[in-house]
Structure 1
Amino acid sequence: MSAATALRVALADDQALVRAGLRALLQGLGVQVVLEADDGQTLLDGLLAQPVDVVLSDIRMPGLGGIQALQQVRARGDRTPWLLLTTFDESDLLLRASEAGAQGFMLKDAAPEDLHEAIVRVARGDTLLQPVSTDPVRARYRFHDEAPPSDTFGEKEVAILRLLAGGYSNKEIARSLFLAEGTVKNYVSTILDKLGTRDRTRAVLKAITLRVI
């Protein structure tokens, strides 16, 4: 990738050594780090003055964490692609990240080439939420609601549920499955009815608990 076309990235992590390592790694891959922050508030302030192609942020930081910073960015109308990194293999973090509007979620032990690919993909509009183990979710929610669904799920409904679990919007699901957005909305309504839930996050949690996905 040439300097003229290099992606411009904001990097946020409270550990200076981690930031330095990621900066060196990204620069070696042809990615420009044009903004650095050690907490979410500094990141938010910096983004007002320095637009970037992708935000690469740790989830857990003192004060304002990565997910909270993302929520505030989205609330002010900023749609910059956001890739969250964490050392914790926790499925509820994946769900919280997708619900907040993250385009990407990866563990920090990802291979450098996978991180680079993730940055490139979210910059062009893809959603890349790396699957993590669903066992903790099942363990946490198994006693909350194990009532069976009111009906079985078709292949298309299962596919939509999996995309919902990945944080895809109705528009993104429609594009991925070559459906009209209105058709996807109808599918989602049917899925919620079958699972007896009123929102997408609870539907995903219950679908995981019942091993629908």
Structure 2
Amino acid sequence: MRTALRIALVDDQALIRAGLRALLQQQGIDIVFEAADGAALLEQLARQPVQVVVSDIRMPGMDGIETVRQLRARGDSTPCLLLTTFDEADLLLQATAAGAQGFLLKDADPADLLDAIERLAAGHSLLQPVSTEAVRQRYRYHADSAPKALFSAKEVAVLRLMAGGYSNREIAASLFLAEGTVKNYVSVILEKLDTRDRTRAVLKAITLQII
């Protein structure tokens, strides 16, 4: 029997926290503590460490993005999953820059929420579930941001899986490729997008409507 994942829930609405708590406990998740805002989370997390923080992105006072920023500033690397709505997708870049590892729509299926928490706890990221259209509208195409070369269908497929937070091994299994081949694809993708890390590559690919 696997050990229950330990998480913290952060939302200013008590009813939403109660619903999430009931849902996650049914999935075998251990809710270590709950907080109504970012400040309360920071205070409690110092005493009660968890494996993943699940937080609303919009809260009065200290919101989800500022909470993540302050966690990282004090050296706390606890993975943070931010719950969003479609019209908040333009916050994706801000939240990623602050150090958030995952984003999920509030109306996601319970299985998707559990999968997201498990992925973050395992060290992966999760960017795919948010709507990308608002990001594209806000960060429109600029000629000086254009990729250095066109992308092949296989490279786009790899990019889409990168956006879902999949590791090279998982991408290889999904596309029936050798892990070394996927590593080469990722290197080419980073080069074409002129980025040094996977997260920025995915965000740039969304902005340029490559994925």
Unaligned runs of 5+ in 2: 173-178
Against the structure 1 CA distance between its residues 97 and 165, is the aligned structure 2 distance closer, same or farther, given a 3 Å change threshold? Answer: farther
Matches within 5 A, 1:1-213: 5-142=3-140, 145-146=142-143, 148-154=146-152, 158=156, 161-162=159-160, 178-179=179-180, 187=188, 190-193=191-194, 207-213=205-211
Q: Is the 8 A contact 2:10 2:34 kept in 1?
A: yes
The C-alpha deviation readout for 1:29-75, integer Å capped at 9, x for no partner, is 22121111111011011110001121111111111111211122122
Q: Is the 8 A contact 1:12 1:40 kept in 2?
A: yes
**Cα distance, 1:136 vs. partner?**
2.2
Question: Which deviates more from structure 2 when the two are superposed, residues 132-141 or residues 31-40?
Answer: 132-141
Unaligned runs of 5+ in 1: none
Identity among equivalent pairs (%):
62
Q: Any idea what SS the aligned residue of 1:36 has?
A: strand
**Cα distance, 1:198 vs. partner?**
9.5
TM-score normalized by structure 2? 0.75
**Cα distance, 1:27 vs. partner?**
1.9
Alignment partners' CA distance in 1, 2:160 and 2:207? 13
Q: Any idea what SS the aligned residue of 1:85 has?
A: strand
Q: Is the 8 A contact 1:82 1:103 kept in 2?
A: yes
The C-alpha deviation readout for 1:137-170, integer Å capped at 9, x for no partner, is 232233x6145544323456545654665678xx
Q: Is the 8 A contact 1:129 1:166 kept in 2?
A: yes
Q: Is the 8 A contact 2:155 2:185 kept in 1?
A: no
Alignment partners' CA distance in 2, 1:204 and 1:117? 20
Alignment partners' CA distance in 1, 2:128 and 2:198? 19
Alignment partners' CA distance in 2, 1:100 and 1:18? 24
Q: Is the 8 A contact 2:8 2:31 kept in 1?
A: yes
Aligned residues: 204
Alignment partners' CA distance in 2, 1:112 and 1:198? 34
Alignment partners' CA distance in 1, 2:83 and 2:39? 17
Alignment partners' CA distance in 2, 1:96 and 1:13? 19
